[in-house]
Every structure is written in structure tokens, then in C-alpha cells.
Amino acid sequence: MREYFSFTQAERLLREGERVTRAALRGKFVMLRGGEPCIGSYIGETSLGSARPYAFTDEDRAAADWERFTREKPAPWEGCDAG
């Protein structure tokens, strides 16, 4: 069961080092770097990510669908590559 938060609660989570997201961000997450919000995403199935500065919108501030960001990686493929 998903737990949703208001923007105020999401800000608290960010200050605690959590990454947060909402449906409108389409799989991206928000995190704090140097106290400033950044929006980011992972690059494919790697552990590499990209992030850039982010300014919260009025819609973000009014939203009550914030949640902790969790990344689900696909199950490792087991098999062989035939060449």
C-alpha cells in the first residue's frame, strides 16, 4: 500500500535525505543537493543517474500525492546469449 504525503511532509522527508516523487514527475525523483532541490532519474538499468536543479511549481506545492521514491530494478536475466 502506498503512503502519500502533502508537500510539507515531502519537504520534511527531503531534509531527512529521502528522495520523493509524484505521478506528475513520471518516474523521476526529487532530492536535495547542497540544500537545493534537484530532479533526477536513473539511466536505464544502471546505477548511474542524472540530476539537474528543480524549482517546485504551484502544482507541486498544492499536491497531496507525494511519496517516497523507490526504484524497482527488473529481475536479473538468467539464460545464455547464443551467438
Domain boundaries, the chain: 7-68
Strand partners, 41: 50
Tens digits of residue pLDDT in 53-82: 999 999 999 999 999 999 876 666 665 555
Residue 62 confidence (pLDDT): 98
Between CA 11 and CA 72 the distance in angstroms is 23
Question: Comparing 2 with 36, which gets the higher pLDDT?
Answer: 36
8 A C-beta contact, residue 20 and residue 68: yes
Residue 76 confidence (pLDDT): 63
Residue 2 confidence (pLDDT): 87
Residue 81 confidence (pLDDT): 58
Residue 16 confidence (pLDDT): 97
